[in-house]
Structure 1
Amino acid sequence: MYMKKNLCLLYLLSIFCYSHAQNENLNLEQKIDSTLSKMTIREKIGQLNQLDGRGTIEDLKVIIRKGEIGSVMNVTEPKVVNELQKIACEQSRTGIPLIFTRDVVHGFKTMLPIPLGQAATFNPELIQEGARVAAVEATEHGVRWSFAPMIDISRDARWGRIAESFGEDTYLTEKMAIAVVKGFQGDNLADARSMAACAKHFIGYGAVEGGRDYNSTHIPDRQLRDVYLPPFEKAIKAGCSSIMTSFNDNDGIPATGNSTLLKDILRKEWGFDGVVVSDWGSVTEMIKHGFAEDRKDAARKAIEAGLDMEMSSKSFIQYLEELIAKDIVSETTLDNAVRNVLRLKFRLGLFDSPYTEINKPIETYSGKHLATAKKIAEESIVLLKNEGNTLPLSSRIKNLLVVGPLADAPHDQLGTWTMDGEIERTQTPIKALREMYGDKVKIHFIKGLEYSRDKNTINFNQVLAKARQVDAIIAFMGEEAILSGEAHCLADIKLQGAQSEFIKKLSETNKPLITVIMAGRPLTISEELNQSDAVLYAWHPGTMGGNALADILFGKTAPSGKLPVTFPKAVGQIPIYYNHTNTGRPATGKEKSLDQIPLNAKQSVLGHSSYYLDLGIQPLFPFGYGLSYTTFKYSDLKAARTIVAPNDTLSISVKVKNTGQYKGTEVVQLYISDLVGSVTRPVKELKGFKRVELAPDEEKEVLFRLPLHSLAFWNMDMKKVVEPGKFKIMVGTDSESGLETFFEVK
């Protein structure tokens, strides 16, 4: 009786909540319609106009008074924000507030590791905390809309913007996308400390030809549906407020003018009712694509395709009024776009509370925020090699030599898209090592190279002389922040300047050599890896990167990061990613290498398989790879059932034991392989992961619950289904190793 009463109460509560939500939505739409009905066509178009605020403020004020702008980018002084907002609310005819925006990509003032580094944590809950830090700091400065997260699937390390991505995997990117959306937007978008998220770039931008920014993509529909679109759909289901179109054309159609993407998929299939904003200038760039005749034609094609707001290029405000007057564009099309913009402003609570509160204590750079940044940096660092247990540094190390261009590079350590980061706050490795461990070990510091592209070897002799007097060497290498990010693509992703030569010279001293690499992308480091005793990959770790590295080097924290992207041996292997489909002649690992082929050999296919003569088939490091200071043993992998239905959830368990001497955290990874499909399927796909902390000799059972609907894909008839058949389960420490078992879907 008691249970029946509780169920009844829950049922009534759910009806009340649903009814309340319906009423709220109805009230919101009524407010939007009421506001829209009082606007002129010119004022409506003004709401779709987004401009950079870094120019002359006085000119901007004139446009705001006339109601010809809906959003302002890159104004982050709260007093200026309020001054402009006051003009919009009190001096424009409509009184509609502005939205102030910024690229808050991986932190605002307190800089977190770059997103690629954040993905290496395999810890969405922690990344959500980091996004909340960014939201609190940004909103304190008047920013209520961020152009992040970037959730392009990125499989080409030559592409500079891989730094802004969460890597090559769809599932991991989905989880990180949801985390950032929730962190930015909080529980209530109208809260003054919440800001709207913007999932970008829609769609396929990470697959640009040759890794060259802004280039074309050629992604077939099935791959688009299975690989590139799912993170955006998940972000929208998590409540993401806006979507940004990408620069690229796919299959000949620029994303900003693609009605199939913006109307059919985004609006009709997914029910998205937020704002679609162009990327910077991408509306009028359709002219150079050869897709639009001129600016007027570009404006027409963009708004008719489903674009709501135009970033920076001003073709809407210049031509839509004329296009509507001549019945080329309907006013209904305009109204639909304006509704989406107004809806976001109402949801942000801007009509009720348009101003940024100034006279209150702020949390920017608070101890809590810095601790979160340090925690993310710690968990993002990946241990790639640790020969002879070189790390952590033991008590036997009394004299330590620190070298390298990234050892004390406060600007470069912050990484790309750090518009508001302040180098005075950056905790560099040398600063942190001296402050945190300088009382335990004598630290000598000679940069050797001033910056990553430096080719001047004049200081090498001084470094080598000192190296002979110390117990170990830490070399902080990598790339400057400017070498990754937007429009910073590279044809060769090696260490720049004389860094490789420097590492070789250091290795010849026969002193333990620890190489720490800070970079915005995977680099080709095969030789440097061989010459180093230990290698840590730290990405660009942000404000607290030095402190995080210091604690890892000295063993206060054990590294637990895993690679969110495959590391190639050489550029010629790109694109290389773990979840490729198989060929009819896959490599076996027994193929002849280049040096095994005799001179004057007769024509031969050398094994009939798909591989490189000079590099084989394996990457330098696979997706999901990362060592610890301890070791882990997997055992007893079990699926609760061997035969399941397509709508079931399958429980999968495995035991993981810490078999080493240090406490450590293992990222246990679950992969599934669909053995036979109506179309070829990936050799494996990540479908789950869990971080498990274990003390020495401790063993835990790790449980995964796999919803079978997550195995659905777009079949031969372009329908999303879970097909019956046999599946392989693989659970292990990375995408190339682990235990296996099987189940069947019937």
Structure 2
Amino acid sequence: MTDQRITRRGALIGAGAIAAWATSPARALLAAADRAPVQPAVDALIGRMTLEEKAGQLTLNAAAWSGGVATQLNPPSQGGGFDQQIADAVAGRLTGVFNGNGAEMARRMQAAVMKSSRLKIPLLFAADVIHGHRTIFPVPVGEAASFDPDLARRTARVAALEGAAAGIDWTFFPMVDIARDQRWGRTMEGAGEDVLLGQMFAAARVRGFQGDSIAATDSMMACVKHFAAYGAAESGLDYNPVDISDRTLREVYLPPYKAGFDAGAGSAMASFNEINGIPSHGNPWLLKTLLRDQWHFEGFVVGDYTGDEEMIAAGFAKDGRDAARIAFLAGVDMAMQSNLYMLHLPGLVRDGTVSQELLDRSVRRVLAAKHQLGLFDDPFRRIDPRREKARSRTRTSLALSREAGRKSIVLLKNEGDILPLRRDARVAIIGPFASGQHDLNGPWVVYGDNVQAVDLATGVRAVVGNGRVTVAPGSGVEEPLAGGIEAAVAAAQAADVVLLAIGESEGMSGEAQSRTDIVVPAPQMALAEAVAATGKPVVVVLKNGRALALQGAVRDAPAVLVTWFLGSESGHAIADVLFGAYSPSGRLPISFPYESGQEPYHYDHKPTGRPAPAGPREPYKNQWRTVLNAALYPFGHGLTYGKVRYADLRLGTGSLPWAGSLEVAASVTNTGTRACEELVQLYIHDRVASITRPVRELKAFRKVALAPGETQSVRFTLTREQLQFIGSDLQPTVEPGDFDLWIAPSAQAEGVTGRFQLLAA
């Protein structure tokens, strides 16, 4: 149950501020939506504002009072400290701040504005709540490996519950960029390489954060980012230009944004990149023609961190005034951190460069969002230090973190059924991530603390006891450790099994962490080779925020687990899978290449006129000198502790009527001795079309629980709409003809396959 009234708590927190607010012009004009239409009330308030106050409502800056992590991620650049920021807010020069230091900071700022500002327009508090607030969940790409959008909705709900209690009204999430180049560090923030999966997770996360009512005290406004196509940055290099065809933009990169907006997201964030020569912060086609006119988005657009100002260095604007003009006229309603709108918008309106009407329209969008968030009804509705503490890291939240962690783990390989491990095994945990409160939560965590997270050694000891576990780091993440390999080899020789905890640190993934070679660092590879040489069974436990090109002893280990960055309950979640308390059910949302040089790589690539043969290599075919045009571990791949067999494909009549549907089905059987959960995936390929089509496209998937020996019939229903593509006129189209179909466990597996025909109208 949520409290949407001005409470005694709010009155006490605000002290004299509530009394001042109750008689303010803003309170009188914007009391409640059920007493008057929102727009006339907002317009009446706008009519009382000066140009400077209007520009202030379009100005968002990093909080001067933040924390260590927040300061590192988004250092305040305006100077003056917290007292000066309060003065700016009271003077109407700020619409709000982001990544601040919790409820007490928000209380002080809001109280000052409610008591002393002229119009007493509530501040808006925002934050990067990317994969949890205090309770941290798996990094988003890891969570996407669950192929469970409802899990993402539930984790976003908890993040909203915790964050809203700390005074946060608005989160800069979900990030819905399709990531097809694993060199890009921000792969970890999204849902991977597939369009369908991206759409489903975008919508689920928006619904999770915004809940049933965006005004509720356990909800936050979502922000779909980065608009648009940031994941297609050239060479996988952060902030780089994007140069793609209009068809690829519309067919691959735009659909997840549209899904997020259709789910009701209240805001959008412009992306750092340019598209075909035009920076997104200055692209009226993107932010107005597409977003507003065609998609009918009614929320507001915020720029990314100094994104408007960066058009100067990009050679698209000559100075700050020009950058403010370009960004505002292109459709960026609110400037983040640059302060350019506060500095230049009033003058641009006074000299006629920007019309008063356009300025009022952007202010109207921001005030409407504050109204929808309930801030005009109770400016302190989400500000409650006692509630902040009570909602933080509850048993229920931590249990969900553990559930999300184990559902995100992907078992790539399990030769000889080395997993699950025996509980009486002597275990050597070797590697830089074997133990210690570091690199557990993952990148882009503003408020969580690794000190509170569970490491791998703690999780394993909770199962087998202290006496059966030996820990040896062996090496640093990117540097050797004196005597490390020798100590690790000794630990391995004394154990029954080795858990090799290697991969990427938090600092190697995320924003501005593009990599040219997506491999396990050399010192860790040397450690892996030495441990493998002992002959002991090795289970590789990978920590990563992107797909990696696995090599040598890591690739050849009998068992490999992808564990991403799993958050608060990392060690417990991994131990649940290692010792069989949970049968792994995750699947790869991104393809693991054979080599880094294959990037960008994605499973749904186009065919060519010279496809590589399935058998022996032939010259002059679509292949690299050293590897095939395929993935080592493809999208959708992942093993369970069961043994699943696909059989008995059923295609009904084999014909899909133009205005009808076609039911397809296959039988899946667990021939193993352990229960499991199988992700059954449906792929299609349009054999002949006016625009060449990918070799496979995911169209549906279903998870089925299978007891040992159990068979289930898994059914899918196909319609014409699922076969659409972007045609030569850049509009959705579909053509009659023949389609290949697979019901399979991954994008490269055969499973069972057949063919059907889409009939003409």
Superposition TM-score tier, normalisation by shorter sequence? over 0.9
1:321 is displaced (CA, Å) by 0.8
CA deviations on 1:538-569 (whole Å, 9 max, x unpaired) are 01111111001111111111111101011111
Matched, 1:556 2:581: yes
Residue number among 515, 530, 536 corresponding to 1:505 in the alignment: 530
Residue number among 378, 387, 391 corresponding to 1:363 in the alignment: 391
Match in the other structure for 1:394: 422
Matched, 1:30 2:57: no
Deviates more, 1:643-652 or 1:563-572: 643-652
The letter of the residue matching 1:52 is A
| In structure 2, C-alpha distance between the alignment counterparts of 1:530 and 1:60, rounded to whole Å | 53
The letter of the residue matching 2:453 is T
Which secondary structure state, in structure 1, belongs to the residue aligned with residue 757 of structure 2? strand
TM-score for the superposition, normalised by structure 2: 0.91
Match in the other structure for 1:706: 718
Matched, 1:224 2:249: yes
Which secondary structure state, in structure 2, belongs to the residue aligned with residue 539 of structure 1? coil
Structure 1 residues 463 and 607, CA gap change in structure 2 (3 angstroms)? closer
1:657 is displaced (CA, Å) by 1.4
Residue number among 325, 334, 343 corresponding to 1:300 in the alignment: 325
CA deviations on 1:470-509 (whole Å, 9 max, x unpaired) are 2111111111101111001111111124111111111111
CA deviations on 1:699-718 (whole Å, 9 max, x unpaired) are 22222233421322210122
1:589 is displaced (CA, Å) by 3.0
Match in the other structure for 2:437: 410
Structure 1 residues 315 and 520, CA gap change in structure 2 (3 angstroms)? same
| In structure 2, C-alpha distance between the alignment counterparts of 1:654 and 1:36, rounded to whole Å | 61
1:607 is displaced (CA, Å) by 3.1
| In structure 2, C-alpha distance between the alignment counterparts of 1:363 and 1:120, rounded to whole Å | 27
Match in the other structure for 2:641: 629
Match in the other structure for 1:742: 755
The letter of the residue matching 1:29 is Q
Match in the other structure for 1:675: 687
| In structure 2, C-alpha distance between the alignment counterparts of 1:250 and 1:664, rounded to whole Å | 44
1:454 is displaced (CA, Å) by 2.4
| In structure 2, C-alpha distance between the alignment counterparts of 1:96 and 1:705, rounded to whole Å | 51
The 8 Å contact of residues 650 and 708 in structure 1, kept in 2 or not, is answered as no
Matched length: 708
The letter of the residue matching 2:700 is G
Residue number among 699, 707, 723 corresponding to 1:687 in the alignment: 699
Deviates more, 1:291-300 or 1:582-591: 582-591
The 8 Å contact of residues 286 and 298 in structure 1, kept in 2 or not, is answered as yes
The 8 Å contact of residues 76 and 142 in structure 1, kept in 2 or not, is answered as no
The 8 Å contact of residues 116 and 165 in structure 1, kept in 2 or not, is answered as yes
Residue number among 645, 650, 653 corresponding to 1:638 in the alignment: 650
The letter of the residue matching 1:389 is D
Q: Alignment RMSD, CA only?
A: 1.6
Match in the other structure for 1:65: 90
The 8 Å contact of residues 591 and 607 in structure 1, kept in 2 or not, is answered as no
Match in the other structure for 1:436: 463
1:293 is displaced (CA, Å) by 1.3
Match in the other structure for 2:22: none
The 8 Å contact of residues 209 and 217 in structure 1, kept in 2 or not, is answered as yes
CA deviations on 1:99-158 (whole Å, 9 max, x unpaired) are 101111111111111111011100111111111111111111111111111111101111
Which secondary structure state, in structure 2, belongs to the residue aligned with residue 691 of structure 1? strand
1:24 is displaced (CA, Å) by 6.6
Match in the other structure for 2:8: none
The letter of the residue matching 2:45 is T
TM-score for the superposition, normalised by structure 1: 0.93
The 8 Å contact of residues 258 and 295 in structure 2, kept in 1 or not, is answered as yes
Structure 1 residues 87 and 168, CA gap change in structure 2 (3 angstroms)? same
Q: Which runs of 5+ in 2 are unaligned?
A: 1-32, 65-75
Match in the other structure for 1:320: 345
The 8 Å contact of residues 268 and 300 in structure 2, kept in 1 or not, is answered as yes
Structure 1 residues 691 and 210, CA gap change in structure 2 (3 angstroms)? same
| In structure 2, C-alpha distance between the alignment counterparts of 1:689 and 1:199, rounded to whole Å | 25
The letter of the residue matching 1:383 is L
The 8 Å contact of residues 425 and 464 in structure 2, kept in 1 or not, is answered as no
| In structure 1, C-alpha distance between the alignment counterparts of 2:303 and 2:396, rounded to whole Å | 35
Residue number among 395, 402, 406 corresponding to 1:378 in the alignment: 406
Match in the other structure for 2:362: 337
Q: How does 1:284-299 map to 2 (within 5 A)?
A: 284-299=309-324
| In structure 2, C-alpha distance between the alignment counterparts of 1:513 and 1:617, rounded to whole Å | 29
The 8 Å contact of residues 433 and 501 in structure 2, kept in 1 or not, is answered as yes
Matched, 1:610 2:638: no
The 8 Å contact of residues 408 and 430 in structure 1, kept in 2 or not, is answered as yes
The letter of the residue matching 1:742 is R
1:25 is displaced (CA, Å) by 12
1:175 is displaced (CA, Å) by 0.6
Residue number among 166, 173, 193 corresponding to 1:141 in the alignment: 166
Deviates more, 1:559-568 or 1:461-470: 461-470
Which secondary structure state, in structure 2, belongs to the residue aligned with residue 734 of structure 1? coil
CA deviations on 1:192-226 (whole Å, 9 max, x unpaired) are 11001111111111111111100011011110000
1:391 is displaced (CA, Å) by 0.5
Residue number among 453, 459, 463 corresponding to 1:426 in the alignment: 453
| In structure 2, C-alpha distance between the alignment counterparts of 1:354 and 1:653, rounded to whole Å | 54
| In structure 1, C-alpha distance between the alignment counterparts of 2:141 and 2:555, rounded to whole Å | 24
Which secondary structure state, in structure 1, belongs to the residue aligned with residue 489 of structure 2? helix
| In structure 2, C-alpha distance between the alignment counterparts of 1:284 and 1:466, rounded to whole Å | 54
1:359 is displaced (CA, Å) by 3.3
The 8 Å contact of residues 439 and 450 in structure 2, kept in 1 or not, is answered as no
1:646 is displaced (CA, Å) by 4.0
Which secondary structure state, in structure 2, belongs to the residue aligned with residue 656 of structure 1? strand
Which secondary structure state, in structure 1, belongs to the residue aligned with residue 593 of structure 2? coil
| In structure 2, C-alpha distance between the alignment counterparts of 1:482 and 1:243, rounded to whole Å | 27
Residue number among 164, 180, 183 corresponding to 2:205 in the alignment: 180
The 8 Å contact of residues 284 and 315 in structure 1, kept in 2 or not, is answered as yes
The 8 Å contact of residues 507 and 531 in structure 1, kept in 2 or not, is answered as no
Structure 1 residues 293 and 704, CA gap change in structure 2 (3 angstroms)? same
Match in the other structure for 1:619: 631
The 8 Å contact of residues 547 and 592 in structure 2, kept in 1 or not, is answered as yes
Residue number among 27, 47, 51 corresponding to 2:61 in the alignment: 51
1:96 is displaced (CA, Å) by 1.1
| In structure 2, C-alpha distance between the alignment counterparts of 1:24 and 1:728, rounded to whole Å | 54
| In structure 1, C-alpha distance between the alignment counterparts of 2:752 and 2:525, rounded to whole Å | 37
CA deviations on 1:78-107 (whole Å, 9 max, x unpaired) are 122011112223321121111101111111
1:165 is displaced (CA, Å) by 1.5
| In structure 1, C-alpha distance between the alignment counterparts of 2:498 and 2:346, rounded to whole Å | 66
| In structure 2, C-alpha distance between the alignment counterparts of 1:157 and 1:362, rounded to whole Å | 39
| In structure 2, C-alpha distance between the alignment counterparts of 1:129 and 1:510, rounded to whole Å | 43
1:279 is displaced (CA, Å) by 0.6
1:643 is displaced (CA, Å) by 2.6
Structure 1 residues 76 and 143, CA gap change in structure 2 (3 angstroms)? farther
The 8 Å contact of residues 438 and 451 in structure 2, kept in 1 or not, is answered as no
Structure 1 residues 647 and 338, CA gap change in structure 2 (3 angstroms)? farther
Identity fraction in percent: 38
Q: Which runs of 5+ in 1 are unaligned?
A: 1-22, 593-605
1:675 is displaced (CA, Å) by 1.6
Match in the other structure for 1:81: 106
1:640 is displaced (CA, Å) by 4.0
The letter of the residue matching 1:664 is C
1:537 is displaced (CA, Å) by 0.7
| In structure 1, C-alpha distance between the alignment counterparts of 2:676 and 2:692, rounded to whole Å | 38
The 8 Å contact of residues 532 and 553 in structure 2, kept in 1 or not, is answered as no
| In structure 2, C-alpha distance between the alignment counterparts of 1:38 and 1:253, rounded to whole Å | 36
Deviates more, 1:699-708 or 1:684-693: 699-708
The letter of the residue matching 1:723 is E
